[in-house]
Amino acid sequence: MSSTSGLDSALARVRGGLTSMRNGNPEPYIARWAESDDATLFGAWGPIEKGYQQVAETFQWVGSRFKGGELAVENTVVHAGGDLAYTVGFERGDVVIDENGARQPMVIRVTHIYRRFDDDWKLVHRHADFPPTDQRQPSRPAIESAGAIAAEQRLFAPHSRRASSHDGIQSRRDA
């Protein structure tokens, strides 16, 4: 068996799960995660979680915020070796968040880490954030418009947060 056997189909299932998430149904994406105590999330909207149950609950909350739209997965790097693989890239598109009803542009930088369990690759980590402006040249944003980034950050910022601890990792989610 090659070191990447089954990875392409796992990536396709994650893409499908993210499409479902953007339409308010997080279950197909949650199903792509390893039911492991060391599953971790560093989320774009602030949550930091450790453990499958906490990660799944957070994705339930994330899915409840999406009311439609499209977000394409753009993997810039895909690498696998042994029983670990990772992707680095972007999720971009227009989405409807919460009850505002208007489609808004959204760009997220995303790193996923996968672990192979038997013949299936499962997610064990997601780190996502809104790309900041490239500060090497203040006039050159990391994506098309610095104004769009600021608007996204205002639009998607959680209203309030409460913190708790999971094995030393701070967790944040809406109260």
pTM for this one? 0.77
CA neighbor of 161 nearest in space, from 172, 171, 152: 172
Rounded to 10 degrees, the C-alpha dihedral 150/154/160/164 comes to: -30
> Could you list the pLDDT tens digit for every one of the 175 residues in the chain?
456 779 999 999 999 999 999 999 999 999 999 999 999 999 999 999 999 999 999 999 999 999 999 889 999 999 999 999 999 999 999 999 998 789 999 999 999 999 999 989 999 999 999 999 888 876 655 555 444 444 444 444 443 333 333 334 433 333 3
CATH number of 7-171: 3.10.450.50
pLDDT reported for residue 139: 61
CA neighbor of 80 nearest in space, from 125, 113, 111: 113
Structure tokens at 84: 């670990």
pLDDT reported for residue 157: 43
pLDDT reported for residue 140: 57
Beta bridge partners of 112: 87, 126
